[in-house]
Structure 1
Amino acid sequence: MIRAVVEILKRLLSGYGAFFALTEPATNLLLFATTMLNPVVGLMGALGGAMVILIRQLLELPKRDESVEIVNGILLGMLLGSTYFVDAKVMVFLAIGCVLIVAVSAILRDTLCHYFRLPLLGLPYVACAFLLLPMMATVCIPASLPNFVLDFLPITETPLRFLSPLGSVYFHGTATGGLLVFLAFFIGSPCLAFIAAAACAISHLVLIGLGFYPGTISFLIAQMNAVLTGAVIGGLYTTPGKRSITVALVASGLCSILSMSLERLLSIESLPALAAPFVLTTYGVLIALAPYRGGPWTNFWLRVPTLPEKTIEEKSLALARGLSDTSISLKAPFSGSWSIYQGFNGSYTHQSAWKHALDFFVTVEGMSYKDNGRHLEDYYAYGKPVLSPCFGRVVAFVSSLADNIVGEVDTVNNWGNFILIQINTGAYVLLAHLQKDSVKVELNSWVAPGQILAMVGNSGRSPQPHLHMHVQESYVLGSRTIPFHLSGVIHSTIANNGKRTFSLFCRPDELQTVSQPTCNAALRRALRLSVGCRHEFEIGNEVRRLEVNLDLNGQFYLQGKNNASASFICSDDLLACFNRQGSRDLLLDAFIMSLGLTPLVEGALAWEDILPKRLLPTSGPADFLWSLLKTYEPGLRFTYQRDWDPESHTWIQKGKNKTKLLFGLVNWTIETEARMCESLGVVGLELKLNGKSILKAALAGYGLREDNGIPEKNALWPANV
Structure 2
Amino acid sequence: MKNHYISHIKAVLNSYSEIFFVENYIAGGIFLLCTFINPNLGIAGIIAFISAYLFARFLRMEKEFLSSGFYTYNPLLVGLSIGYLFKITPITVFFTITAGVLTLIFSVMLYSIFSYYLKLPIFSLPFVIISSTIYLSVSNYSNLFVGSLYPHINFSFLENHIPIWITGYLKSFGTILFLPDVFVGLLFALTIFFISRILFMLSVVGYYSGTFAAGFLTGSFYQAFSDISHFNFILIAMVLGGIFLIPSIKSYFIAVVGVVISTIVLSAVKTFWAFYGIPAFTLPFNFVSLTILYVLGILGFPLVAKVIRKTPEETLDFYLTNINRFKGYERTLHLPFSGKWTVWQGFDGRWTHKGSWRYAYDFVITDDNGKTYKNEGLNLEDYYAYRKPVLSPVRGRVVKVISDLPDNPIGQVDKDNNWGNLIVIHDVRGFFVEISHLSQHSIKVKEGDWVEVGSFLGLCGNSGYSPQPHIHVQVQPSAEIGSYTLPFSFVSYISKNRFYSNNLPKEGEIVEPVFPDKSLELKMSFILDYQFFYDVIKNGQKIDTLHFTVKMAPDGTFYFDSGKGKLYFGKYEGTFYFYRFDGKDPYLKLFFVSVPRLPLAYRKDIWWEDYIPIKTVTSEIEKSVILFFSSFNHSFAKVKYKGRYVS
TM-score interval, normalised by the smaller of the two chains = 0.7 to 0.9
Structure 1 range deviating more: 218-227 or 505-514: 218-227
Does 2:167 correspond to 1:170?
no
Task: Return the match for 2:367 from 364, 369, 386.
Answer: 364
Task: Return the match for 1:258 from 250, 260, 265.
Answer: 265
Q: Supply the distance in 2 between the matched residues of 1:124 and 1:170 (Cα, whole angstroms).
A: 16
**Structure 1 residue 402, shift from structure 2 partner:** 0.9
Closer, same or farther: CA 109–300 of 1 in aligned 2, 3 Å: closer
Q: Supply the distance in 1 between the matched residues of 2:516 and 2:296 (Cα, whole angstroms).
A: 45
The percent identity for this pair of structures is 26
Q: Supply the distance in 1 between the matched residues of 2:8 and 2:219 (Cα, whole angstroms).
A: 44
Q: Aligned with 1:488: secondary structure?
A: strand
Q: Supply the distance in 1 between the matched residues of 2:98 and 2:36 (Cα, whole angstroms).
A: 23
Q: Supply the distance in 1 between the matched residues of 2:524 and 2:109 (Cα, whole angstroms).
A: 50
Closer, same or farther: CA 433–306 of 1 in aligned 2, 3 Å: farther
Task: Return the match for 1:98 from 84, 97, 100.
Answer: 100
Q: Which amino acid aligns with 1:510?
A: E
Q: Supply the distance in 1 between the matched residues of 2:311 and 2:641 (Cα, whole angstroms).
A: 27
1:139-169 Cα distance to aligned partner (Å, 9 max, x none): 1245332336245566642764463333321
Is contact 1:199–1:226 with CA below 8 Å preserved after alignment?
yes
Matches within 5 A, 1:295-694: 295-297=299-301, 300=304, 302=306, 307-322=311-326, 328-365=331-368, 366-424=370-428, 426-492=430-496, 500-517=497-514, 519=516, 531-539=530-538, 540-545=541-546, 547=548, 549-551=550-552, 556-560=558-562, 562-570=563-571, 573-585=574-586, 587-600=587-600, 601-616=602-617, 618-619=618-619, 621-631=621-631, 637-644=639-646, 651=647
Closer, same or farther: CA 623–280 of 1 in aligned 2, 3 Å: closer
Task: Return the match for 1:184 from 165, 169, 191.
Answer: 191
Q: Which amino acid aligns with 2:188?
A: V
Closer, same or farther: CA 392–197 of 1 in aligned 2, 3 Å: farther
Q: Supply the distance in 2 between the matched residues of 1:429 and 1:107 (Cα, whole angstroms).
A: 40
Q: Supply the distance in 2 between the matched residues of 1:218 and 1:279 (Cα, whole angstroms).
A: 22
Q: Supply the distance in 2 between the matched residues of 1:285 and 1:552 (Cα, whole angstroms).
A: 32
Matches within 5 A, 1:49-60: 49-60=49-60
Closer, same or farther: CA 385–3 of 1 in aligned 2, 3 Å: closer
Q: Supply the distance in 2 between the matched residues of 1:218 and 1:402 (Cα, whole angstroms).
A: 80
1:516-537 Cα distance to aligned partner (Å, 9 max, x none): 1255566556656564454434
Give RMSD over aligned pairs. Answer: 3.3
Is contact 2:337–2:513 with CA below 8 Å preserved after alignment?
yes
Alignment match, 1:669: none
Q: Supply the distance in 2 between the matched residues of 1:315 and 1:620 (Cα, whole angstroms).
A: 18
Q: Which amino acid aligns with 1:374?
A: L
**Structure 1 residue 438, shift from structure 2 partner:** 1.9
Is contact 1:85–1:145 with CA below 8 Å preserved after alignment?
no
Gaps of 5+ in 1: 493-499, 645-650, 652-721
**Structure 1 residue 559, shift from structure 2 partner:** 4.3
**Structure 1 residue 404, shift from structure 2 partner:** 1.0
**Structure 1 residue 53, shift from structure 2 partner:** 1.9
1:268-306 Cα distance to aligned partner (Å, 9 max, x none): 111111122222333433444553xxx534884648787
Q: Supply the distance in 2 between the matched residues of 1:244 and 1:480 (Cα, whole angstroms).
A: 32
Closer, same or farther: CA 609–217 of 1 in aligned 2, 3 Å: same
TM-score when normalising by structure 1: 0.79
Is contact 2:317–2:627 with CA below 8 Å preserved after alignment?
no
Closer, same or farther: CA 34–550 of 1 in aligned 2, 3 Å: closer
Task: Return the match for 1:201 from 205, 208, 215.
Answer: 208
Is contact 1:47–1:77 with CA below 8 Å preserved after alignment?
yes
**Structure 1 residue 415, shift from structure 2 partner:** 1.3
Q: Supply the distance in 2 between the matched residues of 1:558 and 1:65 (Cα, whole angstroms).
A: 21
Q: Aligned with 2:639: secondary structure?
A: strand
Q: Supply the distance in 2 between the matched residues of 1:151 and 1:431 (Cα, whole angstroms).
A: 76
Is contact 1:173–1:220 with CA below 8 Å preserved after alignment?
no
Alignment match, 1:681: none
Q: Which amino acid aligns with 1:449?
A: V
Closer, same or farther: CA 298–266 of 1 in aligned 2, 3 Å: same
Closer, same or farther: CA 20–511 of 1 in aligned 2, 3 Å: farther
Alignment match, 1:680: none
Closer, same or farther: CA 217–202 of 1 in aligned 2, 3 Å: closer
Q: Supply the distance in 2 between the matched residues of 1:305 and 1:642 (Cα, whole angstroms).
A: 32
Pairs aligned (count)? 631
Alignment match, 1:41: 41
Is contact 1:163–1:182 with CA below 8 Å preserved after alignment?
no
Is contact 2:321–2:611 with CA below 8 Å preserved after alignment?
yes
Q: Supply the distance in 1 between the matched residues of 2:305 and 2:10 (Cα, whole angstroms).
A: 30
Is contact 1:327–1:483 with CA below 8 Å preserved after alignment?
no
1:113-146 Cα distance to aligned partner (Å, 9 max, x none): 5444443322222222222223334412453323
Closer, same or farther: CA 114–471 of 1 in aligned 2, 3 Å: closer
Is contact 2:499–2:608 with CA below 8 Å preserved after alignment?
yes
Is contact 1:12–1:53 with CA below 8 Å preserved after alignment?
no
Q: Supply the distance in 2 between the matched residues of 1:241 and 1:571 (Cα, whole angstroms).
A: 30
Is contact 1:608–1:637 with CA below 8 Å preserved after alignment?
no
**Structure 1 residue 595, shift from structure 2 partner:** 1.5
Alignment match, 1:149: 155
Is contact 2:561–2:567 with CA below 8 Å preserved after alignment?
yes
1:75-96 Cα distance to aligned partner (Å, 9 max, x none): 2222223223443333232222
Q: Aligned with 2:70: secondary structure?
A: helix
Alignment match, 2:23: 23
Is contact 2:47–2:97 with CA below 8 Å preserved after alignment?
no
**Structure 1 residue 23, shift from structure 2 partner:** 1.5
1:364-406 Cα distance to aligned partner (Å, 9 max, x none): 2022112222221221111122222223333323211111112
Is contact 1:238–1:300 with CA below 8 Å preserved after alignment?
yes
Q: Supply the distance in 2 between the matched residues of 1:91 and 1:231 (Cα, whole angstroms).
A: 33
Q: Which amino acid aligns with 1:42?
A: G
**Structure 1 residue 361, shift from structure 2 partner:** 0.8
Does 2:210 correspond to 1:211?
no
In proportion to residue count, which structure has more helix?
2
1:559-578 Cα distance to aligned partner (Å, 9 max, x none): 44x43231323579433212
Q: Supply the distance in 2 between the matched residues of 1:296 and 1:490 (Cα, whole angstroms).
A: 32
Alignment match, 1:702: none
Q: Supply the distance in 2 between the matched residues of 1:421 and 1:299 (Cα, whole angstroms).
A: 33
1:669-694 Cα distance to aligned partner (Å, 9 max, x none): xxxxxxxxxxxxxxxxxxxxxxxxxx
Gaps of 5+ in 2: none
In proportion to residue count, which structure has more strand?
1
Is contact 1:313–1:612 with CA below 8 Å preserved after alignment?
yes
Alignment match, 1:281: 288
**Structure 1 residue 511, shift from structure 2 partner:** 0.8
Q: Aligned with 2:149: secondary structure?
A: coil
Structure 1 range deviating more: 135-144 or 339-348: 135-144
